[in-house]
Amino acid sequence: MDRILIRGGNRLSGRLPISGAKNAALTLMPCALLTEEPLTLRNLPRLADVDGFGHLLNQLGASTAIQGTRPEDFGRVMTIRAGNLTSTEAPYDIVRKMRASILVLGPLLGRGGEATVSLPGGCAIGNRPIDLHLRALEAIGAELEMAAGYVKAIAPGGRLPGGRFRFPIVSVGATENVVMAAVLAKGTSVIENAAREPEIVDLCNCLVAMGASIDGIGTETLTIEGRDRLHGATYAVMPDRIEAGSYACAAAITGGDLELVGVAIPDMGATIDALVEAGVSVTPTRDGVRVASDGQLKPLTLSTAPYPGFATDMQAQFMAMLCKADGASVLTETIFENRYMHVPELARMGGGYPGTRADRGCARGGQVGWGAGDGDRSAGFDELDLGGVGRGWRDVCGAGLPPRPWV
């Protein structure tokens, strides 16, 4: 999608079902590599990344089948069967298109005793090195070799022994990889300072449904007793907290009233707290949460942080929303060093400007005008948010538009 044309000035209202979480879906799909039996995932979002990850699983020997959905299903239903792994290599031409492909490293190593995965390419919003993935896998017994842009991991004797590792900093992807590798280890693995994001909890719950033994789910210390084998399961992907938060910002910025159906309120604590502090009404309902605003917003000072802190993926949307606040807001980015590509465009529209430090951006209330596109998916949504409140037509263009079903 290269261009979206928006006519602003309309109030958003109604009911919106929330899709399955992309970040959870791309973590749950490689779990199918851990068993010969089928894994059926419900509520999968309709995303190109999901299709791409399915293609990668096909390359490794797994079959994927999209099933018909029931009336109560909003997302897709996919059954993945990895009866016989025909390859343990994830090639560069696939991994370079989708960084989440690195998440096959742990499952392939855990089940097959070896894995060869291309090093992922760069990322527009900042560096995402995989050194913590490799250090964690080494700690539970993997032997690693780097050559020609690939990492090859081997489990001595065909099976990881288990071990203990403490992350020096929180890493969501590395936590996911080492957990998937450890569930089929011979012994016990203890992971300290593990990421606590809801997507990590969703992964652990899925693995437990498949027969894994994981203690401490939702805490910073995970204790994993390796199993000889896992079995198949049927599991529903958690709702997307970032999608829900983005819609909430859109409701707030247009003075709207939306019921977000299927929202897991406990997963959105920091986002909801910030919305309420900004003067937005957030009320639980039987089916989710209602977000309403009269358009009178208060300025905020926010800083991104690992969960349960304020999510970096919500920073751009909040900056757009706070451009309509009565006063100046300050947002500090602590996760990714290049996540302010939206600021120049917001400035062109009369709302955002750089802070006094490289990790800080500001939003000021002002007359919303016009602008162009940028290169960050969350930032693409913030321009859609702000375009929705301005008067007249707004043309948002560029490769950075968010390729998600909720746009």
The maximal CA–CA distance of the chain, rounded, in angstroms, is 67
Question: Left, alpha or beta for 343 (phi > 0: left; psi -120 to 50: alpha)?
Answer: alpha
Give the closest residue to 16 by CA, choosing from 243, 338, 210. 243
Angle at 156 between CA 201 and CA 212, to 5 degrees: 25
- Burial code of 296-329, b = ≥16 C-beta within 10 A, e = fewer? ebebbebebebbeebbbbbbbbbbbbbbbbeeeb
Phi, psi for 388 (deg, rounded to 5): -70, -20
Has 362 been annotated as catalytic? no
Report the distance separating Cα 407 and Cα 3, nearest Å.
Answer: 12
Catalytic residue among 31, 123, 249, 323: 123
Strands 221-225 and 213-215: antiparallel
Catalytic residues: 123
